[in-house]
Structures are given as structure tokens and as C-alpha cells.
């Protein structure tokens, strides 16, 4: 019988040792990867719960599982989209490459989570509660979270994709846009730090805040929600529209302008 060797990572059981080939639709025993990499046309649905086996729909035999540093890599080398399901108690870091799609099913509670999307795929979550969350969008894909509760949220958009946050509740939001990607967010963030250096637009008209700081070096436009204090520095051609009646401190060095809606 042909055998497949799967390596374990330090601190996490990823399928230790070598296991016999599993029947179609299943792959090995319970998985506990805190760092997970998904590459290629693979659609993975993750549920938070007891550790379970990685289950595939048709085509799962094309998916390769292997260790990459201290992470578990799920690599789909074929051309057709393959669907998989996995249940596990936690997650610390998630990377999506190529056409990979990952969905966090139902509500998740974590200490911290880093998500990076570097291809044309998609990440989505119904509800996420975590002390710290970092979202990095480097490709042309999409990130979508219906509800997010965190103490601190860090956002980096360095590609042409779109990030949508439906109901955000956080103490601190730090967002950097460096390319043509767009960011749409609603909810509340007491402290907001915006750094806009590309052509991407920001739609945060539905985001309430206390202290908001924005620096714009590019051509992207931004709409900001009601706040108590608004500090603006405009070096590029992008315009800023703000709601409410905040105390405004503004410095303009380019052609961009700020105005109240």
C-alpha cells in the first residue's frame, strides 16, 4: 500500500509521522494547525470546535498536505476548485494564495488572528471575536467580515482587492492603503489612524469614532463617519468628506480638500 508522509510542527500536531493512504473524502486524523496556508483552487470551510479530520468533496486526492516551516500547507495543484471542511479549536495565522477561498463558519473566538490574502481568492467570516486582528490584502482578492469585535484591528491593503467590514467594534483601528484596493467599513472605532498612499478609496461614513487621524499622500478619496476630533494632513490629490460636527485640525499641502457632508 502506498504511504504518504506528513510532518508535524513544533507545538502543534499536524498529522505526526507517516499515515496510510486514507479513503476518498478523508485525510488522516485530527488536525491542530495554528498556522494554516491554503494555496490553489481550494475552498476550505472552517468551523471552531473539536479537532476533526480534513474532509473533501470530489477531487480531494489532488490536494497535497505538507509542512512549510511551522505551518500546515494545503496545496491544490489541479485546475478545478476542490471543496474541503475542517473543524479545529483555534487558529493564529492564515495565509491564502492563488485562488484559495476560506470561510470561517459561524462565530469564532480567538486571542489573535493574522490573515493574509496574496492572490485572487476570498476570505470571509460570519463573526469573529479576538483581542487583536491583522488583515493584509496584497492581491486582487476580497476580504469580507460580517461582524468583528476586537481591541485592536490592523489593516494593510497593498493590492487591488476589496475589504468589507459590516459591523466593526474596536478600540483602535490602524489602516494603511498603499495601492488601488478599496476599504468599506461600518460600526465603531474609538481611535482611528488612517494612512492613504495609493489610489484606493475609503468608505467609512458609517464608522463612528472619537479621535480620528488621517494622512493622505495619494489620489484616493475618503469618507469618514462622525467623530469628536478629526486631524487631517493632505499631501496628495485625494479628497476627504466627513460626517457630523467634529473639531477639525487640517493641513493641506496638495490639491486634496476636506469638507463636511
Predicted confidence at residue 62, as pLDDT, reads: 83
Q: Which of 183, 154, 166, 228 is nearest to 242 (CA)?
A: 228
pTM over 0.75: yes
3-class secondary structure, 15: coil
CA distance 250 to 244: 16
Checking if the pLDDT of 9 tops 60, the result is no
For 176-218, how does the pLDDT look when each residue is reduced to its tens digit (9 = 90+)? 999 999 999 999 999 999 999 999 999 999 999 999 999 999 9
- Average pLDDT value for residue range 3-20: 33
Which residues, in sequence order, are CB contacts of 23 under 8 Å at separation 6+?
none
Rounded percentage of the chain residues whose pLDDT exceeds 90: 80
Say whether 94 sits in a helix, a strand or coil: strand
Q: What is the mean pLDDT of residues 229-248?
A: 98
Quote the CA–CA distance of 259 and 111 in Å, as a whole number: 39
The pLDDT of residue 70 is 86
**How buried is residue 109: exposed, middle or buried, by Cβ count under 10 Å (0-12/13-18/19+)?**
exposed
pLDDT at 61: 79
Cell of 129: 471575536
Domains of the chain: 1-88 (no CATH), 92-261 (2.160.20.120)
Cβ atoms < 10 Å from Cβ of 148:
21
Q: Where are the beta strands (DSSP E) in 59-181?
A: 63-68, 71-76, 82-88, 93-97, 101-117, 122-137, 142-157, 162-177
pLDDT value of residue 31: 56
Helical segments of 182-250, H only = none
Give the model's pLDDT for residue 24. Answer: 40
In this structure, are residues 106 and 48 in contact, taking their beta carbons and an 8 Å threshold? Answer: yes
Q: pLDDT-based confidence at 6, cuts 50/70/90?
A: very low
State the Cα–Cα distance between residues 259 and 245, nearest whole angstrom: 11
From 209, 207, 196, select the one nearest 235 (Cα to Cα): 196
Arithmetic mean of pLDDT over the chain: 89
Query: Region 240-247: what's the mean pLDDT?
Result: 98
**Residues recorded for the chain:** 261
> For 89-108, what is each residue's pLDDT tens digit?
999 999 999 999 999 999 99
Tell me the mean pLDDT in the region 31-37.
82
pLDDT in tens, 103-136: 999 999 999 999 999 999 999 999 999 999 999 9
Given a cut of 90, is residue 12 above it in pLDDT?
no
Provide Rg for the chain, Cα atoms: 21
C-alpha angle with apex 22: 54 to 25, nearest 5 degrees? 50
CA–CA dist 199, 215 (Å, integer):
13
Residue 30's pLDDT is what? 54
> Is 224:212 a contact under the CB 8 Å cutoff?
yes
Residue 52 has pLDDT above 90, yes or no: no
Amino acid at each position: 500500500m502506498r504511504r504518504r508522509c506528513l510532518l508535524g510542527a513544533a507545538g502543534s500536531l499536524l498529522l505526526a509521522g507517516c499515515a496510510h493512504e486514507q479513503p476518498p473524502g478523508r485525510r488522516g486524523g485530527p488536525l491542530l494547525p495554528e498556522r494554516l496556508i491554503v494555496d490553489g483552487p481550494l475552498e476550505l470551510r472552517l468551523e471552531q470546535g473539536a479537532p476533526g479530520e480534513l474532509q473533501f468533496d470530489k477531487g480531494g486526492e489532488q490536494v497535497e498536505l505538507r509542512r512549510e516551516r511551522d505551518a500546515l500547507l494545503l496545496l491544490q495543484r489541479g485546475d478545478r476548485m476542490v471543496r474541503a471542511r475542517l473543524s479545529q479549536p483555534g487558529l493564529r495565522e492564515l495565509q491564502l494564495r492563488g485562488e484559495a477561498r476560506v470561510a470561517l463558519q459561524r462565530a469564532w473566538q480567538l486571542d489573535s488572528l493574522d490573515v493574509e490574502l496574496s492572490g485572487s481568492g476570498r476570505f470571509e467570516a460570519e463573526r469573529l471575536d479576538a483581542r487583536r486582528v491583522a488583515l493584509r490584502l496584497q492581491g486582487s482578492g476580497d476580504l469580507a467580515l460580517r461582524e468583528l469585535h476586537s481591541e485592536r484591528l490592523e489593516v494593510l491593503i497593498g493590492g487591488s482587492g476589496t475589504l468589507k467590514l459590516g459591523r466593526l467594534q474596536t478600540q483602535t483601528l490602524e489602516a494603511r492603503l498603499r495601492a488601488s484596493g478599496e476599504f468599506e467599513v461600518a460600526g465603531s472605532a474609538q481611535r482611528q489612524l488612517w494612512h492613504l498612499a495609493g489610489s484606493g478609496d475609503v468608505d467609512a461614513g458609517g464608522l463612528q469614532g472619537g479621535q480620528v487621524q488621517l494622512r493622505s499622500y495619494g489620489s484616493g478619496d475618503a469618507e469618514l463617519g462622525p467623530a469628536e476630533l478629526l486631524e487631517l494632513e493632505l499631501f496628495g490629490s485625494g479628497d476627504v468628506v466627513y460626517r457630523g460636527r467634529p473639531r477639525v485640525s487640517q493641513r493641506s499641502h496638495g490639491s486634496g480638500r476636506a469638507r463636511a457632508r
